[in-house]
Amino acid sequence: MFAHTPEPPYYAVIFTSQRTAGDEGYAETADRMVELAAQQPGFLGVESVRGADGLGITVSYWSSEEAIAAWKVHAEHSMARDQGRSRWYAGFEVRVAKVERAYGMRR
Amino acid sequence: MFAHTPEPPYYAVIFTSQRTAGDEGYAETADRMVELAAQQPGFLGVESVRGADGLGITVSYWSSEEAIAAWKVHAEHSMARDQGRSRWYAGFEVRVAKVERAYGMRR
């Protein structure tokens, strides 16, 4: 699903991750985190894909750095992040970026 | 595969796309574009995932806006982009963003 973001500038958090084997409660928590993120101030949208090899890219969009910082320390999100580090991910990379321009096409 | 990017700042091109049905020469051209992009000045890396539903996210990383602009008008890439618009994609969104900070974890 495409995120319906406003005109730039806004922020993107690019989260690239490699899942470990087995679900271990991952899917339920991942769904919950999307639901919870969508309720946070400054949330603009999210796009998320995981391939058959377990590599995934999730990009969430935010109105400001402050909104990103507040979500990072959200209590339930922090607990999920701890589980991500200890159980669900073999590795991940987070990149915080300022979207400067955007364009697209829909049929 | 994770991209091994340098310390920020650098640029990211976030390309979210929905494939049409059928290959229509897509896979071969997609592989060729990754090979060709990697030869361009200022290319830093790429991460790409496509899900079973045809939604894909490809993030390419570049040293500068100038490097992104040069790749956009590369002749072979321009031809591929035309085919993307007319045949391969039901829709896409391109977002150009400046990566300001990054962190990660590997086991």
CA–CA dist B4, A107 (Å, integer): 35
pLDDT for the residue numbered A68: 98
Give how far the C-alpha of residue A36 lies from the chain's centroid of Cα atoms, to the nearest Å: 11
Is A78's pLDDT higher than 90?
yes
Print burial letters for B11-50: b (CB count within 10 Å at least 16), e (below 16): bbbbbbbbbeeeeeebeebbeebeebbeeeebbbbbbbbb
| CB within 8 Å: A47 and B16 | yes
Provide the 3-class DSSP secondary structure of residue A106. strand
Q: Is B12 on the interface with A (CB under 8 A)?
A: yes
Of A14, A51, A96, the CB nearest to B59: A14
pLDDT of residue B74: 97
pLDDT at A107: 81
- Partner A contacted by B18 (CB < 8 A): yes
Q: pLDDT tens, A34-62?
A: 999 999 999 999 999 999 999 999 999 99
Average pLDDT, chain A: 97
**B101 has a chain A CB within 8 A of its CB:** yes
Q: Does A83 touch chain B (CB under 8 A)?
A: no
Give the tens place of pLDDT for each residue, B54-96.
999 999 999 999 999 999 999 999 999 999 999 999 999 999 9
pLDDT computed for residue B97 by the predictor:
98
User: A91: nearest CA in chain B?
Assistant: B106
Question: What confidence category does residue B24 fall into, taking pLDDT thresholds of 50, 70 and 90?
Answer: very high
Contact A28, A70 (CB under 8 A): no
Task: State residue B50's pLDDT score.
Answer: 97
Residues B44, A63: Cα–Cα separation, whole Å: 27
* A95 pLDDT more than 90: yes
* Global pTM value: 0.97
Q: What percent of chain A has pLDDT over 70?
A: 100
The confidence score (pLDDT) of residue B107 equals 81
Beta carbon pairs, A and B, within 8 Å: 115
- Find out whether A17 and A59 touch, Cβ atoms under 8 Å: no
